[in-house]
Structure formats: C-alpha cells, structure tokens
Structure 1
C-alpha cells in the first residue's frame, strides 16, 4: 500500500484475482463472483463485478437472466454476439461498449462471434437507491482506438448526467443508473495522463459537505494472453504527482485508490508497449 499526501493506493495483483479455466472460458474475477469468494474483495463503491473473460470461438454464455444490476461489456478483441429478451441482436467488435440496465429483469446470451476468441471485460454496477426496479434498457456505443489514444475517453456515465444521451445508439458515454464513470485509454510509452474528478451531480455536493473520500479503481488490461502468474507486459505507474514513486502495475493488475476531492491522479506508462487501461471513478 502506498499513501501519498491525501491519496491512498492499494494494488490488486493479477495473480491474486479469482480465476477459472473451463476450456471454452478463461476468466479472472477482481471481486467475489460465482464460486470465488474473498471477503476482502466484494465490491468497491457501486462497482460490484469486474471480470476479464476470454471465450473460445463458437462458444459462450447461454441464455440466462439478471435483474436490478447495471451490466455492461467492453470488447478488447474479437467480436461478441449479444441477444436478449428485449429483441436486441448485435455483433460487438473491438472498442464496443454494450450496456444493459436489467431493472425488473431480462434474459440474454453472450457468445464469441466468428472464428476468433473474444476477449472482453464484463462489469456490474449497483444501481442508485430506488432505481433497481426500473424498466430494462439497452444501449451500445463504439469507440475507436484513436479516440482513446493518450487520453481518458469517457465510456459510461450516470444517466442523470448531461454527458450522456438516452438514445439506444449515440455518440459519447452510455447511461447507467449508478454513480459510476468509466474511462478507457491506450497510453503510449513515456506518456503521462492526469485524472481529476470534476463531474457535478447532486450526490457530489453531499459528499463534499460530509468530507467523504472519493474512490477510483484502475485496471490494466491483460493484452498478451491468459497468464495466471505474476503480471508481465505493460508497466503503468500510478501516483498523486509525477515526482512520487507511486505504485507500478502490470497486465491484469489493478489498484484501489481513495482520495480527497480535487486530488490529481497520474497514470504514467513506464513500459515499452502501449497500455490499455480502464479507470472507474466512483461515488
């Protein structure tokens, strides 16, 4: 654990994540999920599930049901085929973001489309109080590599935010019934990005008044393949200022960050390859 001024960083190492190899599915679990249970890693703010999945071609998750949670997928490579009880059928390529507000309940299936394995992150967020029983809704967004290169592109934002469109397909972030902002970035070697929480919502002002600390979770995508050993490949250093040592992460590693509002977070690519990163800003 690293504490710098008002920023605390606790790494979540890739090899310590829950994992399973079912042949057709190779998966890592950041938080307790399915048969994996760890009291120290249940959730972080509204972020409840962060699974990094690899599904073999022509296989996948058969039709199953969900309710209440906000469930979304970020496609890293290959193509994901989505079908659901609302009549949505879609092939989602790299860079696609598919978001389902499950509300009172939906059924869906997710499979690898075509001859290539699909690699994606499956993410669940807890809804805001009183919004878990809303009407199910489905949204898709598409983000090019260029939109994410050396910048934090906003992929998901609260449905109450002016940053989102409630159209099924649109530009900009997908809406969800949770206080979570998700960013993605492709950071080139030697590049440093800075993140400061600056969104304005009703709940943000109450947090400021109460003095509560904010939360961020950072995840480094495991691009080089399913590796159950210590992280390799990319190297990302997280710190409060560029002069601090911070914490270094590799592929598959993550980090819990808690900090006071207004603190800057630095993401510095200290490795030799482009690093793909997800950042979750949480209330």
Structure 2
C-alpha cells in the first residue's frame, strides 16, 4: 500500500453565505489537476447549507449521485416524482443515467444542514434513471464500520427504492462509515472485486464535525490528530477533522486499521474501489 496524506485546508473551499463547502476534487470554479478523480470517485463535497436556502432544480446525467446526511435536514425533489426530507443517518442515491433534474433544499427555519455530496462515474452509459434511499442508525456505526453503499451485484445491494439493505450503485464502489470512540479501533479488509480486478484504491476522510474551518493548521503542527490509519505493511498517517488519505496499490485481503487517538468521537468515512 502507498499512502498520500491530504490536509483539510488543501481542499478547494468556498463560502457563499448560504453555502459553505469543501471540494475534495476539482469542482465548479476550483481546479487542481492533481485532484480530478480517484477511481470511480469524481466528487466529494462537504456541504453546509443555511436554513431556508438550497440548490434549485438543475439537471444531471451519467453520474451516480448520493447525499449522506451528517446533521440537519435536506429536502429532495426530482423529475421522477420523488419527494423526501432526509435527516442524520439517511442516504439517498440518484442514478442520473440518461438524465434527471432535482433540487435540494434546507427547509428548516433555523438549523443548517451538513452533508456529503458524492458523485461516482457509472460503469456504463445510458442507464435508466433511478432513486434509492436507506437509513443507518448511529448504533450501527458506533465503534464499527457500517457498510452503506455497494455495487449492484454485491450481496444485499438491491435495486429497490427503500429497504434495510445496502445502497446500490452502478460503479465498483463501496462506502463505509464509523463513529469511533476515543481509544477504540476498527479494521477493514479489502473486499473481492466483482470485475476480477486484483488491486484496490481506498480513500479515508474524517468528517469536519466541529464546524466549517478553512484555516491552515495541520501544516504548522497545531491541529490535533484524531485518527490514526495503519496499513498492511505498517504504513501510517494521522488525520484531523477534514483531512484525508489516498491509498493506492492495495490488494484484496489487505487490512487497514483505523484508531481514534483523540478525546472526542471521530466520524470517519471510507471509500473502497477497484483500481481501474
């Protein structure tokens, strides 16, 4: 395995008043040729939307788009007739396929909504648009990795609108989340590929739970490292809120350990993909 650390403050960021956001990959007016995609991942935006504001109706096509709610409420409405308000622990997957239009609003009068907006490249074009929702309780993530998204064809990833199973995605992508207590650790073993690939990519990020902060701090050593990531061959990096690590050259069966060295619960997300 090879680790590449990415500090939170090195992400793209913008404060539009109604929207405060970080971009892991090139997005909108922020462009960095080093960060255009990673495997099937094309977008990870950590968004905070102010009360009574949001994204008006806009089109998408040929992307798998999912929103993972950290706090607050996010109301979704789309051209397929889906209308839903999502809360913490909810995830919705929109398979854009040949084309959809949707809006996402924070209708709450007083509380912001904090969520991850994630786009993945589908494994084929011209798919029929689809919409899927799932809910995962905090208890399912407490000091263990909850498996939240999986490729269609993986056991439990069913193409039905609502159920208690995994969220299906038309991409070689798995998504996990954990709420890790101080002095606790979890392990992740890289999964077999549905496409016969032998190498894997992993991206791990710590959610910026304490609030929107673009100030540089990890570079001067003042940021408290909360999460320690240890790889198969004892590769090590430490992550604070908003930091991430890109992991390449993983092999099926390799193990990663995620350990909380801090004083607070750390919310950590992990993406595993085929190395395409």
TM range (shorter): over 0.9
* Per-residue deviation, 1:198: 2.5
2:141 corresponds to which of 137, 148, 162: 148
2:271 corresponds to which of 268, 275, 280: 280
Q: How does 1:173-252 map to 2 (within 5 A)?
A: 173-201=166-194, 203=195, 205=196, 207-208=197-198, 213-229=199-215, 230=217, 232=223, 235-240=226-231, 244=234, 246-252=236-242
In 1, Cα distance between equivalents of 2:38 and 2:134? 25
Q: Which runs of 5 or more residues in structure 2 are unaligned?
A: none
In 2, Cα distance between equivalents of 1:240 and 1:42? 24
* Per-residue deviation, 1:260: 2.4
Aligned to 1:23: 17
Aligned to 2:112: 117
1:139-196: CA deviations, max 9, x gaps? 0000100011111111111112122122100112110110000001101111111111
The yes-or-no answer on 1:260 pairing with 2:251 is yes
Q: Which runs of 5 or more residues in structure 1 are unaligned?
A: 1-6
**Following superposition, which runs of at least 4 residues in structure 1 exceed 2 angstroms of deviation?**
230-234
1:38 corresponds to which of 23, 32, 42: 32
Once superposed, what is the RMSD of the aligned Cα atoms?
A: 1.4
In 1, Cα distance between equivalents of 2:135 and 2:73? 13
In 2, Cα distance between equivalents of 1:32 and 1:172? 32
* Per-residue deviation, 1:199: 3.5
1:253-274: CA deviations, max 9, x gaps? 0110112222211101111110
In 2, Cα distance between equivalents of 1:109 and 1:145? 27
1:168 corresponds to which of 158, 161, 170: 161
Aligned residue pairs, count: 267
- Bigger drift between 147-156 and 226-235 goes to 226-235
Sort the Cα spacing of 1:178 and 1:13 in 2 relative to 1 into closer, same or farther, 3 A.
Answer: same
* Per-residue deviation, 1:245: 6.7
Q: Report the TM-score, using the length of structure 2 for normalisation.
A: 0.94
CA contact (8 A) 1:73 1:97 kept: yes
2:54 corresponds to which of 57, 60, 72: 60
Sort the Cα spacing of 1:233 and 1:93 in 2 relative to 1 into closer, same or farther, 3 A.
Answer: farther
Partner secondary structure for residue 39 of structure 1? coil
Q: Report the TM-score, using the length of structure 1 for normalisation.
A: 0.91
